[in-house]
Amino acid sequence: MRTLTLEVEDSIIDKFLWFLNHFSDNEVKVLEDNISDDKYLRGIDGMVESIVKAKNEPIENGVTLENLDW
């Protein structure tokens, strides 16, 4: 079974959950109704290590806001 993370617009969440509830538990399970950004990021392999590495990067290697390519 695969696990997906979806972002669903608030205006249709009731309809979307209604739809999902029409599948049996062995076909579709709602694991979490609301997941924090922190928990989501911690669930991605290597993300914590990447953030720690970036946090420990010397400030001289950083880019100022004016030089960011938005």
Determine the 3-state secondary structure of 63 from DSSP. Answer: coil
User: How confident is the model over 34-50, as a mean pLDDT?
Assistant: 86
pLDDT of amino acid 11: 95
Contact 40, 5 (CB under 8 A): yes
- Residue 69, in any domain of the structure: no
Contact 26, 32 (CB under 8 A): no
Structural domains counted in the chain:
1
The range of the structural domain enclosing residue 41 comes to 10-56
Q: What is the DSSP letter of 16?
A: H
Identify each DSSP E strand in the chain by its residue range: none
For the stretch 7-41, pLDDT in tens is 899 899 899 989 999 999 899 988 877 778 888 88
- Residue 27, in any domain of the structure: yes
Judge if pTM exceeds 0.85.
no
Q: Chain-wide mean pLDDT for the chain?
A: 88
The size of the chain, in residues, is 70
- Residue 67, in any domain of the structure: no
- Residue 51, in any domain of the structure: yes
Q: What is the DSSP letter of 40?
A: H
